[in-house]
Chain A
């Protein structure tokens, strides 16, 4: 099991951070922009082609999978965008866009001269969109997981349900603290929803209904939570079974 799949309810962590800034270091903005551009240029999206040489799929699922694969001590040790920097660099190396040696050498250059300007890049002669236009279009249009597939939901609002303990390996959308717990369907979202990748034995990817399921906190952590707390989670149908 991966600790990252079981964060909800973990104890002994000390006070929360109340830092309200999004970026706490200037460089964090750059890696956020790189990630978002790669998502926008990812070839599975129904957007016009650009001159970009990016040719492999990059979605939230890839970023999340990387973070979930980390050593759990490192996961807590490194800040959010430090994890992104590690994961995105590793992906670009693994997919042959850059080499480790190039990245090390260029890092050394910018370490020696942090103000050295970025390269300008070559002029684009697009048939469709420019790279930057496609990025803006992705942000404006999004990438809805709603699918045009009709699968009747097995449960209705008010039904008692049991949450399965599916074998999640690399990636999951089922929070660990809900596994083997009982809840009540709060609502059934209209239609069916895919996920960004196929999570294998974990079970999401193909279109399926999604339920909002309600849990009493005292059922999740008996005798070890606060009174009058209700927790709601959006759960793909594959995670939801009839109440025993």
Chain B
């Protein structure tokens, strides 16, 4: 039993060798090519990522009518934005919904069963989102968890926790921070983090 709680000394080196061994065998067997894994990774550097979500949120901040449409019909509103890459309704974004923070309401997105995440607009989930401790605790004691992320949410603010257990991939429209009135959409987008779009942070004026 004690072995179960110990890691091998070469934990990372072994996993690195094993992952490379698996990839090399799958290439040799003709399942994937020598460029397939890099092709996948490139999509998440150039097409699917939090840079899209940040643009969408910035647009919602400057255009209240767009924000209302984004909450009412998220895919249709996103499809209005012509400066986003193709694939905004692609893998893990087929059925997305946005929820907006407002005075008295703070939204938090979780996935207690796995790690469902809106890939097209947010890319891949950060480590904290996938960790079982977060997934367990955020359901029952969200304020305690948010405090560990440095965010104080008073008891007078309702915390809405959205557990992604079926087809919907949720994300949060954080509130526009004060002191950003003169900023361009691009400057605003730079204030929007993946953490703010999942609800473990708020957007802050830089």
Of B39-47, B51-59, B171-179, B184-192, the stretch lying at the interface with chain A is B39-47
Across the interface, do A17 and B112 meet the contact criterion of CB distance under 8 Å? no
Q: Complex: how many Å from CA A230 to CA B139?
A: 9
Tell me the dominant secondary structure on chain A's binding face: mixed
Q: Complex: how many Å from CA A142 to CA B156?
A: 40
Across the interface, do B28 and A141 meet the contact criterion of CB distance under 8 Å? no
Residues of A within 8 A of B166 (CB): 173, 193, 210, 234-236
Across the interface, do A139 and B140 meet the contact criterion of CB distance under 8 Å? no
Residues of A within 8 A of B156 (CB): 228
Residues in A20-42 with C-beta less than 8 Å from chain B: 20-22, 24-34, 36-39, 41
CB-nearest residue of chain B to A105: B21
B26 contacts chain A at the CB level, 8 A cutoff: yes
Across the interface, do A103 and B30 meet the contact criterion of CB distance under 8 Å? no
Across the interface, do B30 and A231 meet the contact criterion of CB distance under 8 Å? no
Residues of A within 8 A of B90 (CB): 138-142
Within 8 Å by CB of B94, from A22, A31, A74, A143, lies A143
CB proximity of A187 to chain B, nearest CB, Å:
10
Residues in A74-88 with C-beta less than 8 Å from chain B: 74-77, 80, 82, 85, 88
Across the interface, do A25 and B36 meet the contact criterion of CB distance under 8 Å? no
Residues of B within 8 A of A17 (CB): 127-128, 131, 133-134
> Per-residue CB proximity of A104-125 to B under 8 Å, as 1/0?
0011111100100011111010
Residues of B within 8 A of A7 (CB): 112-113, 132, 135-136
Across the interface, do A175 and B36 meet the contact criterion of CB distance under 8 Å? no
**A-B CB contacts (within 8 Å), total count:** 321
Across the interface, do B140 and A8 meet the contact criterion of CB distance under 8 Å? yes
A13 contacts chain B at the CB level, 8 A cutoff: yes
CB proximity of B96 to chain A, nearest CB, Å:
11
A69 contacts chain B at the CB level, 8 A cutoff: no
Across the interface, do A25 and B16 meet the contact criterion of CB distance under 8 Å? yes
Known A25-B15, A140-B87; judge A5-B164 contact (CB<8 A).
no
Across the interface, do A136 and B18 meet the contact criterion of CB distance under 8 Å? no
Across the interface, do B95 and A146 meet the contact criterion of CB distance under 8 Å? yes
User: Max chain B CB contacts within 10 Å: which of A51, A98, A110?
Assistant: A110
Across the interface, do A210 and B167 meet the contact criterion of CB distance under 8 Å? yes
Residues of B within 8 A of A67 (CB): 114
Known: A67-B114, A77-B5, A231-B163. 20 other contacts (CB 8 A): A7-B113, A7-B136, A8-B112, A8-B139, A10-B137, A22-B126, A30-B37, A37-B36, A75-B132, A82-B15, A92-B25, A110-B24, A121-B34, A139-B48, A139-B90, A140-B86, A144-B167, A175-B139, A220-B139, A225-B141
